[in-house]
Amino acid sequence: MEIIITKGDITEIKCDAIVNAANNSLLGGGGVDGAIHRKAGPELLKECRTLGGCATGDAKITKAYHLPAKYVIHTVGPVYRDGHHDEAQLLESCYQRCLEIADEYNCHHLAFPSISTGAYRYPILAAAKIAVLTIQNYQEKCLKKVEIVCFDDYTYSIYKKVMEEKK
């Protein structure tokens, strides 16, 4: 499985599924979540209302509507407190569950944002190490390409550095 790091807007990525860094309600919010909901259109919110929310560390899938992907996999990352409240395990679980769901839905190309590093304040270097290691260790069935889409130069530089170290 190919893992690539790109800089850009995840709502513009043409792939089988994009991952939404959502909140527990799945009903939209700020950052990546708000951008995905705005671009997907009101149909996404309508479908999300039927899902009953999502636990931290888990993931659920919907159609992508007006996005250039087939699906949106919504995952709820942990709010970073101090690193002693299972944050690392919960973040790893987010990536793992998204990969499993992508395979279950026969996705070949999956795009992730940097989960929990915005409003949820997870330190980017620690989050990048968890993301890259979890993806590298995943035993894929259908997935051929996993893309980590970084919104800004700083996040991109951290993920690139982590990828170089993990080769």
Selected catalytic residue, list 33, 58, 86, 152: 33
Contact 143, 108 (CB under 8 A): yes
Q: Is the pTM of this model over 0.95?
A: yes
Residues 91-127 pLDDT 10s: 999 999 999 999 999 999 999 999 999 999 999 999 9
Query: Which of 53, 50, 73, 70 has the alpha carbon at shortest distance from 61?
Result: 73
154 CB-contact burial (10 Å; exposed 0-12 / middle 13-18 / buried 19+): exposed
31, amino acid identity: G
- Known catalytic residue at 33: yes
Which CATH code fits 2-166? 3.40.220.10
Q: pLDDT tens digits, residue range 19-72?
A: 999 999 999 988 899 999 999 999 999 999 999 999 999 999 999 999 999 999
